Structure 1
Amino acid sequence: MDRTYRYLDTDTLARLVDELYDEVCIYDNHYRMVYINKACLRHYGFEPDDLIGKELTIFEHDKWWDTSILPHVYRDKKAYAIRQKTIVGSKLFTVAVPIFDRNNEIEFVVMSVRDTVSDNLIFTGENTAIVASADELRPELLYESDEMKAIMDSIQRVGRTDANCLIVGESGTGKTALAKYMHKISDRQDKPFISVNCASLPRELVESELFGYVKGAFTGAKSGGKTGLFEAANHGTLLLDEISELPFSAQAKLLSAIQEKEILPIGATAPVKIDVKIVAATNKDLTKLIESNEFRADLYYRLNIFELTIPPLRQRKKDIIPLATYFLNQFDTQYGKSHTFSKDTIPLLLSYAWKGNVRELRHVIERITVMVDDFSIEPHHLPKNIFSVVSYDQTLTPFPTSLDGALEELERQMILNSYQKHPSSRGVATDLSISQTRAVKLIRKYRL
């Protein structure tokens, strides 16, 4: 019998560890991630190249976990285990072990991360401690793009003031979620948050819904009168969604309520003082409605003390995979399933236009979760319309005038079009008559 052993070289060993189902992660003695395997895509929605080189403070600032284990390891110089929940909803059991140099100082921290752990699992060790996880945190918003980081920075400032705010963005971009987050970080967080869709209010009932009425105010009125939404939101926050749909006749009374900080319910003889932070939201250009006399300019300026414009999802592609991964984990938990995105699926999710924005992405992921029984979500599992739509950027971005820029744009379009028809590196290589290695590099290059 041949008992010859094959000793693994470093590259082969790294390749094998890279394919492990469990996450393997290594930090150096400067709190910097120096290695992570492909499991990070399932846990965080990012590939290794996106994470390696980042410092722990970046992850902690953006709350990638509900509780971080590394500070305990560096401080106490011993192994720790912890149950965590990631920013995209993955539930993990993490064991972090310090590796020491000759001076007994931490040189590296090696982490083994498993998706789920049984409640009766016992982890023991002479120098190992168990850290209980904090209360589970469900992120109000999830983002990685510079565009959303700028929006969130503004919200941190505006949210802590009583100033009125106007949020502008296409349908499905998350305007309501932003308004709720703004309320959550304000001094009003323990007070009511009331949301009303102005488009859903019957024109003849707008004033009674917003400002209420007293007993006997009109025929058919409730015997006890009605508390309006302004009064219900007193000392809290009132979100006026789709403010552009508010009838012109009601806009004057809304303006008066904002200016005077009081309302007059229908049929009442004495005004009611109110203290309400107003957040308005719209998917339309109010300045154009002002020009066509459909919206009052003075009301616009009262609402628009601070304006936040949320870019559509197609313009912040860095947010697509983290959001998709979060929704996938969310619906896997809800429906008792387990999925992950294959490497061939991700470029397709990134190249699709997502005209319905985050709302459309959420619906697509829920449908996939319900319909797909396979563990790995492959391109053929995606809705057909994702394959039929060319990258939206091509209709928005002028073709470069420089030779190098034009060649790169042509290369990008050819790669995207080929990948939509042949969603694999081998298929692209054959279609474009290039090597598979080059196809892989080009797919990775243009996936964001």
Structure 2
Amino acid sequence: MGEDKKIYGFDFPTFFNLIDNMYDEIYITDNNYKLLYVNKACARHYGATQDEMIGKTSLDFSREEWWGPSFLTPMYEDKKAYGARQTLANGMEVLTIAIPIFDKDNNIEYVIMNVRDDVKEIDLYNDQIDSEFSIGSTQSNKYIFKSKAMKKIYSLATKISKVDATCIITGETGVGKTHLANHMHLSSPRKDKPFIPVNCASLPSELIESELFGYAKGAFTGASHSGKKGLVSMADGGTLLLDEISELPLSAQAKILHMVQEKEFIPVGETTPVKVDVRIIAATNKSLKSLVELGHFREDLYYRLNVVELYIPPLRKRTEDIPHLVSHFLSEFSDKYNTNRQISDRALEVLLRHEWRGNIRELRHVIERLVLTSDTVVIGLNQLPISMFSIEGQAEQHDEDDEDFSFDEKTSAYEGYLIRKAYEKYKTSRKVAEHLQLSQTRASKLIRKYVKN
């Protein structure tokens, strides 16, 4: 097609460029499953370039588990449009709609697919195709991962979510225990009922039982005259997450044990038991077994809850998840703040080296800060927080990988660290110059480079 050909007012190169830069992925195959075209959205979905994908077949991608489930074969057989929710290798859930294009003999000549992420509750053409790897369809419970460890955990979590067995989710603060519990709820037969997360550590000790189980009117001084429905009752029919369950006092643990075993409880100030149908998921960042040995956690409750234990490893133990999380958070906050931010390869390398003691929660906050404070589309080394360049621990931890950075990059990063730290403390170029023993002209130049750029 010549470049002077017009398509609804666009010349062909312009029209093609528009399709190439759509947010939704456009994916076109021939009648032999061969990929003829995919737009630039493939980088977000698969971490691969167009050149790396075009020419391969959809069967190749399915065998390599780039996504699942695959429905091209039945679509070719049925000769009709198909749609399904699929889960990509990085854990992202997408909605894929495939439309067959027929030749003059009514045979499929091409298939064009639209692949959309961040899907909400969208009706599908054929909702009988489901994915056992689904991890939820809303922004609030989306969990992004690529590591084998997390795939294994989510596969097991999805499997046990189909039954009402109690379980304990363990892992450091910020790894996503609540997200996993929410995923289990949404994958369970209880998904249309409430999911009630309770942070046990945040409940005042004197009010724990009344908050959990409710109370009768006038049960104690200051109680509501109409009484109060407890969190357990609010979760009736659904799922109750007891996060940081290790913080519950032994008296409350006894009542929890009774409620789990007998499916009933007695509100504060009442004498009649209340029946309840609720699934219990516990979560903790401590070793409950050690607390049992110390006498701080009931042994019978521990064994009653610990039918299945799901351990989420810290982010520093599964660094292959970090690039996908960074990409996801950049997209999330770019949309939220109506901007567009990407990250340089060198800056990403620094994020990969960071220990992330706060895990995914810490990474999410760092990315939000970078999106808000960066004045350039591409976030570089010089814009990373000072904490990313902490000398204590970081240098020793990553000495072996120092060859990944050139001498100039190392010195520039450290120079930026010194300037930003001094400017945060002294606020003026004159005082920064005095502190670092520089000329004010040079200090001003470096502040423009590392702070105000």
Question: 1:7 maps to what in 2?
Answer: none
Show the 5 A alignment for 1:19-98: 31=33, 40-41=42-43, 43-44=44-45, 46-48=47-49, 52=53, 55-56=61-62, 58-61=66-69, 62-63=87-88, 64=92, 66-69=94-97, 72=100, 76-78=108-110, 80=112, 82=114, 84-86=115-117
Question: 1:115 maps to what in 2?
Answer: none
How far apart, CA to CA, are the structure 2 residues paired with 1:253 and 1:50? 61
Whether 1:415 aligns to 2:404 is yes
Change (3 A) 1:368 1:45: farther
What percentage of residue pairs aligned between the two structures are identical?
A: 44
> After superposition, what is the alpha-carbon deviation per residue over 1:221-274, rounded to whole angstroms, capped at 9, x for unaligned?
211111111111111100101001111221111111111110011121210111
How far apart, CA to CA, are the structure 2 residues paired with 1:27 and 1:393? 49
Return the offset for 1:59. 2.1
Return the offset for 1:381. 1.4
> After superposition, what is the alpha-carbon deviation per residue over 1:319-340, rounded to whole angstroms, capped at 9, x for unaligned?
1111111111111111110122
Question: 2:214 maps to what in 1?
Answer: 212
Change (3 A) 1:320 1:72: farther
> After superposition, what is the alpha-carbon deviation per residue over 1:368-408, rounded to whole angstroms, capped at 9, x for unaligned?
1111121111111111221236887976xxxxxxxxxxxxx
Change (3 A) 1:416 1:309: farther
Show the 5 A alignment for 1:65-144: 66-69=94-97, 72=100, 76-78=108-110, 80=112, 82=114, 84-86=115-117, 138=139, 140-144=142-146
Q: 1:33, 1:55 within 8 Å by CA — same for their partners in 2?
A: no
Q: Which amino acid aligns with 2:320?
A: K
Aligned pair partner of 2:337 in 328, 335, 338: 335
Question: 1:443 maps to what in 2?
Answer: none
- Give the 3-state SS of the residue equivalent to 2:346 in structure 1: coil
Aligned pair partner of 2:234 in 232, 235, 242: 232
Change (3 A) 1:26 1:264: same
Dislocated runs of 4+, deviation >4 Å: 20-41, 47-54, 389-395, 416-420
How far apart, CA to CA, are the structure 2 residues paired with 1:343 and 1:249? 53
Change (3 A) 1:266 1:384: same
Question: 2:437 maps to what in 1?
Answer: none
Change (3 A) 1:247 1:142: same
Change (3 A) 1:78 1:47: closer
Q: 1:286, 1:295 within 8 Å by CA — same for their partners in 2?
A: yes
Pick 1 or 2: higher relative contact order, CA cutoff 8 A, min separation 6.
1
How far apart, CA to CA, are the structure 2 residues paired with 1:255 and 1:161? 19
How far apart, CA to CA, are the structure 2 residues paired with 1:66 and 1:257? 39
Whether 1:374 aligns to 2:363 is no
Return the offset for 1:72. 3.8
Question: 1:272 maps to what in 2?
Answer: 274
Q: Please provide the CA RMSD for this pair.
A: 3.6
Q: 2:346, 2:380 within 8 Å by CA — same for their partners in 1?
A: yes
Change (3 A) 1:197 1:76: same
Q: 1:344, 1:423 within 8 Å by CA — same for their partners in 2?
A: no
How far apart, CA to CA, are the structure 2 residues paired with 1:192 and 1:388? 43
> After superposition, what is the alpha-carbon deviation per residue over 1:15-69, rounded to whole angstroms, capped at 9, x for unaligned?
xx9xx9789978687657699898754x237244997575146324424563325
Change (3 A) 1:166 1:137: closer
Show the 5 A alignment for 1:155-304: 155-304=157-306
Q: 2:196, 2:235 within 8 Å by CA — same for their partners in 1?
A: yes
> After superposition, what is the alpha-carbon deviation per residue over 1:310-354, rounded to whole angstroms, capped at 9, x for unaligned?
001111112111111111111111111012222222222212111
Change (3 A) 1:202 1:387: same
Question: 1:384 maps to what in 2?
Answer: 386
Change (3 A) 1:208 1:39: closer
How far apart, CA to CA, are the structure 1 residues paired with 2:248 and 2:51? 45
Return the offset for 1:358. 0.5
TM-score by length of 1: 0.68
Whether 1:362 aligns to 2:353 is no
Q: Which amino acid aligns with 2:404?
A: I
